[in-house]
Chain A
Amino acid sequence: MHELSLAQGLLSQLQALAKEHGAEKIVLVRVSIGAQSGIVIDSFVFGFNAIKTTLALSRDAVLEISEVEGSDLILMQVEME
């Protein structure tokens, strides 16, 4: 799997959600990663933490990963203000 690219996809999705809800800051991001997805969790977290700093919106966002069954990567919840 392609962790950095997926992290970039996550960031785009967060931008869209923030715009939709009129939010200025992302506080918390909850993501479920399927154990069979082939995604290396550490790499994904590393990638996200590296690119989140490129936007004021996401600079302080905390990423919380739950490892679940299955092969998908799902953005579950976003806390924003």
Chain B
Amino acid sequence: MCDTCGCHISDDTSSKIVEVHQSLLAANQEQADKNREHIEAMGAVAINLISSPGSGKTTLLEHTLDRIGRNMRIGVIEGDIETERDADRIRKKGVPVVQLTTGGACHLDAPLVHKGLHALEHQSEDGKFDLVFIENVGNLVCPATFDLGEHERIILVSVPEGSDKPAKYPTTFHGANTFMITKTDLLSYFDFSVEEAKNEALRLNPDLRIMEVGAPAGLGMDQWISYLEELVAAH
């Protein structure tokens, strides 16, 4: 458009420079904050479970649901690159569950979780929950960078993985609320020092709550369930 008289002139070589000044990092954070509000409107506390593949996130959820699946209104958002396998496992426990597949991205992000929250609401009569678990893509690195809108972030490291993992993944442990050592029923088979893992984790994050579980064997589950009940009650 002509600046002088406002008429439409076609100018073949017109290229324009647009001033933008927009943060590219802000986008996920903004959606995460909206997710947090959304979750609160659902009446729920949201927990983001982060770990390497195979640390026991889904197994922990299965055993948790066995214990309190009927006492609380629990919803689960599963995150994977491919397959619905984790959601299928959770579905057998009879709670609302949504599978998010990224198709390639190695972490969940806030926009994807936003879709998951809406899908989860559709599975419940009134859209209200006490607890929403978000099981992230198995990855100890990338999920740490993406706020999903959770209230609590839990990092799981299993005994076979080794007690040096907290030291090796500082960013992940900095951003967490709770560190859970899983598969503690295997301690006698591995060279895992619970003390080393705890000390390294606390050095990175002195406020970290630390728990130990061996879910299939029932180890540490009472403490874990009490923690969940406290979180929900405090809300």
Q: Residues of A with Cβ closer than 8 Å to B?
A: 1-2, 5-6, 9-10, 13, 17, 21, 23, 27-28, 31, 37, 72-81
- How many chain B residues touch A (CB < 8 A): the figure is 22
Enumerate B125-150 residues with CB–CB distance to A below 8 Å: 142, 145-146
8 contacts between A and B (CB under 8 A): A2-B146, A23-B16, A73-B24, A75-B21, A77-B17, A78-B17, A81-B14, A81-B15
Q: Are A77 and B25 in contact (CB under 8 A)?
A: no
Question: In the assembly, what is the distance between CA of A81 and CA of B18, in Å?
Answer: 11
Cβ proximity bits B139-166 to A, threshold 8 Å, 1 near / 0 not = 0001001100000000000000000000
Q: Are A75 and B24 in contact (CB under 8 A)?
A: yes
Report the minimum CB–CB distance from B176 to chain A (whole Å).
17
Q: Residues of B with Cβ closer than 8 Å to A?
A: 13-28, 105, 107, 109, 142, 145-146
Closest residue of chain A to B13, judged by CB?
Answer: A81
Among B15, B16, B19, B24, the one with the most A-chain Cβ atoms within 10 Å of its Cβ is B24
